[in-house]
A = this chain, B = another copy of it.
Amino acid sequence: MFVGRGSSVLTRENGPQPADFADVRATNLAVVLRHLRTHAPCSRADIAATTGLNKATVSSLVTDLIDRRLVREVGMTENRIGRPAVMLVLDGSPYAAVGLEINSDYLTAVALDLAGERLLSWRRAFSGTAGQPGQAIAALAALARRTVSKLSHDGRRVLGLTVAVPGLVDADGVVELAAGLGWQRVDVRKSLLAALGEPGYPLLVENDANLAVLAEQRLGAQNGTGDLVYLTGGASIGAGIISDFRLLRGARGFAGEFGHLPLDPAGPVCGCGRRGCLEAYAGVGAVIRRALPDVGIETALSPSEFGPHMDEIQRLAKADDAHVLDALTETGAHLGHGIAILANLINPACVVLGGYFTDLAPWLIPSAARELAARSAAADSGGTVIVTSALDSSAAAAGGATRVLDAIDSGALPTPR
């Protein structure tokens, strides 16, 4: 009685954009590419059977992908009845995806090949807080040039470059506000495009938590989960939220302000000037003050001072220092309170602790999970689990490269030549 394929994404949730054959082709090319990403190595026949595409169509699509050097044939199956199948894999060698991260104390560059293998991972110290945006962008551009030049020298074409910024970024790549960097209304995309001489590849700018959660979804242990939250544990606590396989940005891109969830109007003063923000209970500064009371409570800590203190806390925790263990348990409970709020509203399958939280996770998670379980409206915490990030501090940069691969996987393929 009713026409239309019930679950065809093509016909659902589309905007006003009409479709034509080019779209069908791009969609199906992307289907094959994604299938190969998750199921490689496999044969044309496998792809046809699994995706529902016709054998002839798959042959045509695969030929196209091989022409574009995105896919490669790699040997045959053996020891089976029937004609042996030609196995296909993603071709890692001709391309690279680049992610950069700028933070208050360092710059990071990560490059991945098409298959998601890490090609390089660079970091350099950087005192961005003191500098003007112009200097920071010059440094970022220098790093980008070095990275791209290294990749080109290895015979790779750059598929795209994404910059992670710890702040609010609009759709055009303008950083509206980045408190940690002291930036306001900085058009990072335009400046960087100019500094790089208008390169041919796509250049995007995105919030660091949003990119980190992409990396966690694709490269981390939570591989393939569609409902996922990443908590940055840096100068501030931001949440990158993926819901139903899509980044949640909000109307103006302000979503994920986890650190400033208002808990108690009579609580401690937060860096933002308000009282009782979650960050004032569970932020890095609060952890240090609670665990190392000898560190000056009066003075605000600068981000570059976090590292040594966190190392010290981790050392004491490993040595079973009772005070530090108590401090971490208490911090975990506050974090769990915030996560319970998150879980009641968003109901993610998983909350990943990143940044400085990663190293302290063994001592934070037990009390956080306890608190989450106690404060979840749904039974069994609604299925939400708290885990440690499987990625190191380059998560956001890796996410930037992942973002480029996502675009490829969605049909924005490079041309054959």
Chain B residues positioned under 8 Å from A345 (CB to CB)? 239, 241, 255-258, 261, 341-342, 345-346
Oligomeric state, in copies: 2
The interface stretch among A77-85, A98-106, A290-298, A375-383 is A375-383
Number of interface residues of A (CB under 8 A): 93
A257 near B344: Cβ-Cβ < 8 Å? yes
Contact with B along A367-395 (1 / 0, CB 8 A): 00000001101100011100000000000
Q: A393 to chain B: closest CB distance in Å?
A: 24
Whether A8 contacts B2 in the complex (CB less than 8 A), given A31-B14, A252-B382, comes out as no
Chain B residues positioned under 8 Å from A305 (CB to CB)? none
Name the interface residues of A248-277: CB closer than 8 Å to any CB of B: 248-265, 272, 274, 277
A23 near B3: Cβ-Cβ < 8 Å? no
Q: A1 to chain B: closest CB distance in Å?
A: 5
Chain B residues positioned under 8 Å from A249 (CB to CB)? 244, 347
Complex Cα–Cα for A10 and B16 (A)? 11
Main SS of chain A's interface residues?
A: loop
A23 near B19: Cβ-Cβ < 8 Å? yes
Q: Does A92 contact B (CB under 8 A)?
A: no
Complex Cα–Cα for A251 and B2 (A)? 29
A23 near B24: Cβ-Cβ < 8 Å? yes
Whether A18 contacts B4 in the complex (CB less than 8 A), given A254-B378, A382-B250, comes out as no
Q: Which residue of B lies closest to A249 (CB)?
A: B244
Interface residues of A (CB under 8 A from B): 1-24, 26-28, 30-31, 34-35, 51-53, 57, 168, 200-202, 225-227, 239, 241, 243-246, 248-265, 272, 274, 277, 337, 340-349, 374-375, 377-378, 382-384, 410-415
Instruction: Pick the 6 closest A-B CB pairs, nearest first.
Output: A250-B347, A11-B411, A260-B377, A251-B349, A262-B375, A227-B251
